[in-house]
Structure 1
Amino acid sequence: MSYRYGEYRDGPDPLAPPYDVRSALDQMGDAVLSGANPDHALRDLLKQGLPGAGDRRGLDDLLREVRRRRRELRERGRLDGTLERARALLDKAIGQERAELFPDPSDDARLREAELEGLSSDTASAIQELSDYQWRSAAARRTFEELRDLLRREVLDSQFRGMREALANPDPAAMERVRQMMSELNDMLDRDARGEHTQADFDDFMSRYGDMFPEAPRNLEELVDILARRAAATQRLMASLTPRQREELNQLINQTLDQAGLGEQMRRLGDSLYARRPDLAWNTPERLTGEDPMGMGDAVTALEELADLTQLEAALRQDYPGARLDDVDEAAIRRALGRSAVDDLEALKQIERELEQQGYLRRQRGKLELTPKAVRRLGETALRRVFASLDSGRRGDHDQVDAGAAGELTGSSRPWRFGDEQPIDVVRTVVNGVRRGGTAGRVTLSVDDFEVAETERRTAAAMCLLVDLSYSMALRGTWAAAKQTAMALQALVSSKFPQDSVQIIGFSNYARILQPDELAGLEWDMVQGTNLHHALLIAGRHLDRHPDFEPVVLVVTDGEPTAHLRRNGSAAFEWPPTSETLELTLAEVDKMTRRRATLNVFMLAEDERLKEFVNEVARRNGGRVFSSSADRLGEYVVSDFLRTRRSR
C-alpha cells in the first residue's frame, strides 16, 4: 500500500499548538488596566481577533463580512419576478391564440375573441378563467402549459429548496411522489406531536425521499428547522409585496397547489411548522433594492439568507446582557460565510472557554469577573509597568532581602507550626527524623520532625491606599491610572512585603473597602461627592487593628472634599464644600497625626481649592504632597511607598 501526504484542508491544523491563553489574558489586561471592566475587555479581545493564533479573524471582521453579504443580497433583485414572468407568459399565450383566431371568420372565433377580451386584469384570476379553455393555437397551448409548469416549480421550490430542478420536466409520477412525500411528512409530524416518533421512522422517510432535501438533515428537528425557516421566508416575501401583488401571488399559489393536489397537505404542513417555530420572523417585510426580477424560489432563498444574516449580526455584536460566543449558531455561520468563518469562530470560542476552564474568568449572575488568579497576574503586569518607568538604579530597591516575613537568623530553631513563614532548618529536621527511627540510607520524615529557624522580628507596615472613585476621575481621564496604581501596589505588597497589611479604600459619596479580586472589575461611581472624611474613618479603623505596625496612608484624588458622613450614617454633599465638611475631614487628618501615620496626598488636578486643602493637610500631618500627571501616578505612589519602607 502507498500513501500520499498533503496539506490538511478540512479546517484548522489539528496538530497546531494551542493558543496561549495567558497571551489572551495579557491582551485583556491592557484594556482592564486602561480602565475597562472584564466584560468589555473580553469583548474587545474577541472583536479584534487573536494575533499569534494563526491570525484568526475577530468578531469585527466576521461582522463586516456579514454586512457585506447582506448588502449583496439586498441588491440582487426584485421580489415580484414570478408575477412578472407569469404575466408575460399569459400575455404571450393570449397573443398567440388571437393570432390563430384572427383569420377565422366563424362565429366561434368571434366568441373566443370576446372571451379573451373579457378576461380579468388580475393575473391569477385570468389564469383561473383559462384553466378549462380549449386552445385553438398549439403554440398558445404550449405557452400556457409552460406557465403552469413555471408556477408549479416556483411554488414548490419556495417551500422545498431544490424542488424546481426535480420538477423541470413535468411528470405525473414525479408529482404523485411529491404528494406521497407530503402526506407521510405530515403524518410523521403528527406522530411526533403525540410522542410516538422514532429515529428509525425518520431514517426510513429519508431513505425514500432524501433526494428532495439537499440539506441532508440528520433528524426530524433539523428537518423541521429547515422547512420552518423556508416557510417563514415565504411569508416574509408575501409581507414585502404591495397589497395587490400579495393578493395576486397568493391566488396563484393556492391555485397551483390545489391543481397539483397539494393544497390541503401544504396548509397542514404550514400550521405544524408555525406551531413548532413561532419564534421566527414570519411576517416581517424585507426590502430588496435590485432591478432584476427574481423568481419566487430565488426570492425566498434570498430572504431566508437575509434572516440568517440578521440573526448572525445580532449574535456577533455580543451587546446584550450575558452574551456568549456559544450563542452564535455555527450552522448559520457555515451557511452564510463558509467553513473558514466556522474555524475562526471556533478559535474565539476556545479562547473564551479556556479562560474560564483555566481559572482566569468566572461568571457570577450573568456578569463576567476576573478570578483572583487573573487579578494577581494583572497586578504583576501593572507593577512591571511601574518599575519600567523607574530609574534602573532604584528598581526593586527595598529592604526585603529574603523570602517571607523573616528577618536575620538568630541561630536557634523551634518546632514548625501551621502558618509559619520562617525558613525550614533542614539539618535539625533530618536529625529529628533519624532519631525517631530512621534506618541506614533511608530517613522518613513526619510533620512533627520539621523545625524552623528563628529570626529577628522585622518591622511591618499597615498601609492604606485611598482612591477617589468620583465621577470627575472619569471626566478628567485619570481613573484608569488610579485603578492601575491600586493593582500595582496590591501586587507589590503581597509579593514583596507579605508581612505588611494593606487595605485599599475607594471613596465617592461614600467610602468602601475594595477587595483585591474586585480591583480589575472596578469602575468609577456615577455619583457626586468626594467623601474623604468617610475614607479616613475606615482607614483609621484598619490602623487601630494593627497597633504594632508602622502606619502609612496614601490618598489619590482629583478634588477637594465635597461630602462628609452625618451622625445617622447618611452622606451630606455640597459644592462648594461647606465648612462642616472641611472641619470633619481635617479632624480625621489630626487623628491620623496622633496615630503617627504618615499621610501623603497625590493630586491629579491643578485646582487652587484642592491645593489649598492638601497644603493644610501637609501642615497638620507632616506628610508630603505630590502633583502627578496620570501617566506617572503609579511611579510616584510605588516610589513613595518604597522610600517609606527603606526609611524603616
Structure 2
Amino acid sequence: MSDAAASGRGPNRHRSNRHRYGPWRGGPDPLAPPFDVREALDALGEDVLAGGSIRDALRDLLRRGLPGETGRPDLPGLDELRARAARMRRDASRRGRLDGAVTSAQAKLDQALAAEREELAGRDGDEARFAEARLDNLPRSAARAVSDLSDYAWASQDAERIYREILDDLRGDVLDQQFRGMRDALRGMQPGADDAQRQAANQAVKDMLSDLNGLLAKHARGEDTTQAFAEFMDKHGDLFPEDPKNVDELIDALARQAAAAQRLMASLTPQQREELQGLMAAALGDPDLAAQMAALSDNLRALRPDLSWERGERMRGENPLGYGEAADALAELADLDDLLDSLGQQHPGATLDDVDVEQVERALGAGAAQDVRRLQQLERELERQGWLVRDSGGMTLSPKALRRLGQTALRQVFEHLKDGGRGEHDLRDAGASGEATGASRAWQFGDEQPLDVVRTVGNAVRRSVATTGPRVPGARTPRGVRLEVDDFEVVETERRAGAAVALCVDLSYSMISEGRWGPMKQTALALAHLVATRFPQDALQIIGFGRHASALSVEQLAGVEPDYVQGTNLQHALKIAGRHLRRHPDGEPVVLVVTDGEPTAHLAPDGDAVFMWPPLPETIRATVAEVDALTRYGAAINLFMLGEDPGLRRFVDAVARRNGGRVFTPGLDRLGQYVVSDYLKTRKGRRG
C-alpha cells in the first residue's frame, strides 16, 4: 500500500469528496417558502390604499388567498373553502326524508299484521276470532299500535319476528346513534335471543349510562375527574370508538350526537314527532333505561349549551332515512354550519384560530386542512416578520409595514409626475435637505454632502502636474488620473428652512359614497412618507374632519374609517391646524385642505358640534374666522376641491380671495400628484 493510500490522501479519496453545485432541477424548489409574504403585504396595501381598513384588508386577503401565475389561487383563500363546504351542505340537505324511522316502522307493522291475519284466518275457534278483533281495533297511530301489541301473543312466528325487528332496530338505532360502539353490545337483544340474554344486555347498557351520568355530574360540579375518567374508559372504552383522551373530548363527542337527535325531533312535524317519540318509548321498553337516556341528554345539554339543540332543518329527497341516518345527516349539517361560520370570519374579533383544522379535514379533506394551515402560517409570518402587530382590536399594520405602504403610495403618485424639475422627489442623498451655496470645501470623514466632481478632478490633475512636472514632448502620457483622498471636495450647502404642514382631509360619509376615500387616503399616506423620508426637518400633521376634527397619526390614518355621522367641520380642522403651525414658528406655514363639501358644522362655545344643512350663517362665520387667523399668521390655504358642488365652489373661491391661497379641482386619479406637487412648490416660499 502506498503512503498516499495509507494516509487516506490518495486520488480515490479526493474523488469521493468532490462536490458539484448547480441550480435545482428536480421540480419545485424544496427550500422555497410556501408563499411570498411581501406579495401578501402588497396585496394588503392595495386594499388599504383603495380606501379599506387594515382589518378588512387582512380579512379580505385571507378570504381570497394569493393568486398564482396562471390566475388560479397559489394559496386558496377561505372563500373557496367556504364555497366547497356550502356545496357539501346542499348535497347533505338533499339526502332524504327525516321521517324514515316512522314510515319504516309503519311498513313493518303492516307486514307483521298481514302475516298474523293470514295465520289467524287458517285457525278455528274463539281465540283466533278474538285476536282478529283486537287487530282490527288497533289505533291508526303506528306508535300506539306498537305499544298496544307489547303484550300480544303472536300466532305467526314471522309476524312476531317482524314486530321484534321494529323494536330492536329502532332501539339499536337510538343507542348506536348516541354511542357509536353500542351495536356490538346489543347483540344480545337481536332476534332469536332469549330473555336472559336480553336482560343481561339491557343491564349492561343501564350500568354504562349510570356510570356515565355520574362522571358527567362530577365534571359539572368542578371536581377532578382524571381518575374517574380513566376507570370509566377501562370499563366501557370499547363503546367509544372515538377514543376520547379526557372528559371534555368525551362530552364533545356525545353532545354532538345528542344535539343531532334533538334537532331531528325539532325538524319533524308535530304528528311525526309524536309518532317517533312513542316508537322510541316502546323500543326502549325499560323505564329505567329511558330515564337514564333522558338524564344523559339533560347533562350534555347543560355542559354544551352553545350547540344547536332546537334548530330544525328542512331535508329534501325521496329516500326515507332511518333514525340513525337522519340524525347523522343533521349532525353533518350542524358541523358544516359551524364550519361555514368559522370560514366566513364575520363575527367580531374573528381570527383564523377560530377555524377548527380537524373539522375542516373531516368535512373537506386533508388538502383543505393543509390550505387552512398555510393561511394560518401566512398570518403568523406577517406577524413574526414584523409586518403586523396584534392589539386589543385584532391585527393591524406595524410601523415597518406603514413605511412600505407610504412608499408604495408615494411611488404611485410620482408615476404621474412627468416633470422631474418640480421637486426633489428623485434625490436620495442626505444633502437633499440643504440648498447649494455655489462654494465647495475639502471632504471630511462623515460628510454626506454631494461630491463636487469638477473641483475633485481638477485637484487631482493639478496635483499630478505638480508631482511629475510639465509634459515632455515625445514622453509617454500616463492613462487617466489617480484620485487621492486630499483631492475630494464636497458641495457646501445651507440648511433649508423647514415647513410646518397641516393636511386637512375630509372624512365625511360623502367621501366614501362618491368613491373619494381611497385617493384621499393614498394622498395623505404619500405626503406623510415624503415628509418623513425626504424632508425630515418639516413638521407634518394630518387632520381628519367630519362632524368633529382630530389629528391623525400615520397608523390611525391607515386604519381610519368614514364618519357616518353627517357634518363637515372645517372650522375645527383649521383651528387644530393653527395650533400646529404655532408650535413650529420657524417653519414655513403650509395648509392643504382636501374636501368635497362646504362647511356644515362648527364648534359651539361649549365644545359640542353644531350641524345644519344648508349651512348656518354661524358655521360660515366661525370657519371664516379661522381662515382669517391663519391668514394673519402668514399661512396660505390651498384647497383641493373634489366634485362640483356649487356651494363648495362659492365657498372655496371666497376663501382663496380672502386668504390669497389657490383652488385646485383635480380628478381623483391625480389628487395625489396635485397635493404633493403643491407641497413641494409651496415649501420653497418664504414668509413675508
**TM-score band w.r.t. shorter chain:** 0.7 to 0.9
Compared CA separation, residues 504 and 168, structure 1 to 2 (3 A): same
CA distance in 2, matches of 1:358, 1:513: 29
- Cα deviation for residue 529 of structure 1 reads 3.0
What's the counterpart of residue 496 of structure 2? 458
What's the CA shift for 1:196?
Answer: 5.8
CA 1:268/1:460 → structure 2, altered by over 3 Å: closer, same or farther? Answer: same
Which residue of structure 2 lines up, in the alignment, with residue 6 of structure 1?
none
Long gaps (5+) in structure 1: 1-11, 424-452
* 1:493, distance to aligned residue in structure 2 (A): 0.5
Distance 1:403 1:545 in 2: 26
Deviation at 1:521, TM superposition (A): 0.9
Return the alpha-carbon distance in structure 1 between the equivalents of residues 602 and 640 of structure 2.
Answer: 20
Measured against aligned partners, the alpha-carbon deviations of 1:382-432 in whole angstroms (never above 9, x if no partner) come to 11111122217458635966327566698699999xxxx988xxxxxxxxx
Aligned pair in 2 of structure 1 residues 288, 367: CA closer, same or farther (>3 Å)? same
Decide whether aligned partners of structure 1 residues 628 and 176 sit closer, same or farther in structure 2, where only a CA change above 3 A counts: same
For residues 498 and 323 of structure 1, what CA distance do their matches in structure 2 show? Answer: 39
- Residue equivalent to 1:492: 530
- The alpha-carbon distance between structure 1 residues 165 and 333, as it changes in their structure 2 partners (threshold 3 A), is farther
Change (3 A) 1:619 1:183: closer
In structure 2, the residue matched to 1:504 is: 542
Among 170, 180, 185, the alignment partner of 1:161 is 180
- Check the 8 A contact 1:188/1:197 in 2, yes or no: no
Alignment partner, residue 79 of structure 1 = 98
From 576, 584, 589, the counterpart of 1:546: 584
**Conserved 8 A contact 1:563-1:577:** yes
Work out which of the residue numbers 320, 329, 335 in structure 2 matches 1:302.
329
1:292 aligns with 319
Alpha-carbon distance, 1:497 to partner: 0.8
Q: 2:110 aligns with which of 86, 91, 99?
A: 91
Q: Residue 300 of structure 2: which of 273, 276, 283 is its match?
A: 273
Match of 1:58 in 2: 77
Deviation at 1:522, TM superposition (A): 1.3
Farther off after superposition, 509-518 or 223-232: 509-518
Give the deviation of 1:203 after TM superposition: 4.6
Q: State the 1:110 CA deviation.
A: 1.4
Within 2, Cα distance between the matches of 1:89 and 1:47?
51
Note if contact 2:65-2:73 (Cα within 8 Å) is conserved in structure 1.
no
CA 103–590 in structure 1, closer or farther in 2 if over 3 Å, else same? closer
Aligned residue type for 2:302: A
Q: After the TM superposition, which residues 191-270 of structure 1 pair with which residues of structure 2 at under 5 Å, given as runs?
A: 191-193=218-220, 198-199=225-226, 201-203=228-230, 205-206=232-233, 209-259=236-286, 262-270=289-297
Change (3 A) 1:395 1:355: farther
List runs of 5+ in structure 2 lacking aligned partners. 1-27, 450-490
Q: Which residue of 1 aligns with 2:645?
A: 607
Identify which range, 460-469 or 296-305, moves more after superposition: 460-469
Q: 1:44 pairs with 57, 60, 64, which one?
A: 60
| Alpha-carbon contact 1:414-1:454 (below 8 Å) kept | no
The 5 Å alignment of 1:130-149 reads 130-149=149-168
SS at match of 2:681: helix
Counterpart AA for 1:83? V
TM-score w.r.t. structure 2 length?
A: 0.80
Give the equivalent residue in structure 2 for 1:562: 600
How far 1:84 sits from its partner (Å)? 1.1
Q: Secondary structure at the match of 1:559?
A: coil
Question: What's the C-alpha RMSD, in Å, of the aligned pairs?
Answer: 3.3
2:430 matches 1:403:
yes
> In structure 2, what is the Cα distance between the partners aligned to 1:629 and 1:511?
25
Aligned residues: 604
Post-superposition shift, 1:205?
4.2
User: 1:509 and 1:128 mapped to 2: Cα distance?
Assistant: 73
**Structure 1 residue 583: Cα displacement:** 4.3
Aligned to 1:323: 350
Identify the range of structure 1 (263-272 vs 359-368) with the bigger mean alpha-carbon deviation. Answer: 359-368
Offset of residue 602 of structure 1: 1.2
Q: Structure 1 residues 310-319 or 288-297, which shifts more?
A: 310-319
Aligned equivalents of 1:136, 1:34: Cα separation in 2: 82
CA distance in 1, matches of 2:214, 2:623: 80
**Is the Cα contact below 8 Å between 2:218 and 2:225 reproduced in 1?**
no
Q: Does the residue aligned with 1:139 lie in a helix, a strand or coil?
A: helix
Answer yes or no: is 1:637 the counterpart of 2:656.
no
User: Secondary structure of the residue that 1:555 maps to in structure 2?
Assistant: strand
Distance 1:91 1:569, change over 3 A: closer
Cα 1:410/1:294, change in 2 over 3 Å: same
Deviations 1:116-149 (A, max 9, x none): 2232322223223323333222222322232233
- Check whether the contact 1:387–1:395 (CA below 8 A) recurs between aligned residues: no
**Residues 210, 216 of structure 1: 8 Å contact kept:** yes
CA change 1:456–1:259 in 2 (3 A) is same
Question: Does the aligned pair in 1 maintain the 2:34–2:374 contact within 8 Å?
Answer: no
Where 1:355 maps in the other structure, the secondary structure is: helix
Q: 1:76 to 1:166 in 2, by over 3 A?
A: farther
Q: CA–CA distance in 1 between the matches of 2:397 and 2:67?
A: 22
The verdict on how the C-alpha distance between 1:612 and 1:329 changes in structure 2, with shifts beyond 3 A counting, is same
CA distance in 1, matches of 2:155, 2:571: 103
CA distance in 2, matches of 1:145, 1:28: 65
State how far apart, in whole Å, the 1-side matches of 2:227 and 2:530 are.
65
Of residues 126, 143, 148 in structure 2, which corresponds to 1:129?
A: 148
Pick which of 516-525 and 531-540 moved more.
531-540
The residue matched to 1:131 in structure 2 has which SS?
helix
User: How far apart in 1 are the matches of 2:670 and 2:584?
Assistant: 31
Counterpart of 2:663?
625
Task: Decide which moves more: 634-643 or 354-363.
Answer: 354-363
**Alignment partners' CA distance in 2, 1:263 and 1:361:** 55
Q: Of the candidates 387, 400, 406, which is equivalent to residue 379 of structure 1?
A: 406
* In 2, Cα distance between equivalents of 1:319 and 1:352: 17
Q: TM-score, normalised by structure 1?
A: 0.84
* SS of structure 2 residue aligned to 1:47: helix
Q: Deviations over 1:438-477 (max 9, x none)?
A: xxxxxxxxxxxxxxx9973322111111112223222322
Return closer, same or farther for 1:15/1:267 CA change in 2, 3 Å cut-off: farther
- Equivalent residue letter for 1:121: R
Query: Equivalent residue of 1:236, what SS?
Result: helix
Q: Is the alpha carbon distance of 1:396 and 1:161 closer, same or farther for their aligned partners in structure 2, counting shifts above 3 Å?
A: farther
Report the Cα distance in structure 1 between the residues aligned to 2:550 and 2:522, rounded to whole angstroms: 18
Q: C-alpha deviations, 1:153-189, integer Å up to 9, x for none?
A: 2221232236457757826376665444434433433
Cα deviation per residue 1:219-246 (whole Å; 9 max; x = unaligned)? 2211111111111111121222222322
Does the CA contact (< 8 Å) of 1:39 and 1:367 recur in 2? Answer: yes
**Which moves more between the two structures, 626-635 or 313-322?**
313-322
Q: Distance in 2 between matches of 1:331 and 1:605?
A: 53
Identical columns (%): 55
Q: Kindly indicate whether residue 70 of structure 2 is the aligned counterpart of residue 20 of structure 1.
A: no
Contact 2:422/2:677 (8 A) holds in 1: no
Question: Following TM superposition, by how much is the alpha carbon of 1:15 offset from its aligned partner in structure 2, in angstroms?
Answer: 6.0
Letter in 2 for 1:315: S
**Residues 161 and 297, structure 1, Cα contact 8 Å, conserved in 2:** no
Which position in structure 1 is the counterpart of 2:362? 335
Q: Is the 8 A contact 2:100 2:320 kept in 1?
A: yes
Q: State the SS of the aligned residue for 1:320.
A: coil
Amino acid in structure 2 at the alignment position of 1:44: D
Q: 1:33 maps to which residue?
A: 49
Alignment of 1:352-367 (within 5 A): 352-366=379-393
Change (3 A) 1:15 1:413: closer
- SS of match in other structure, 2:504: strand
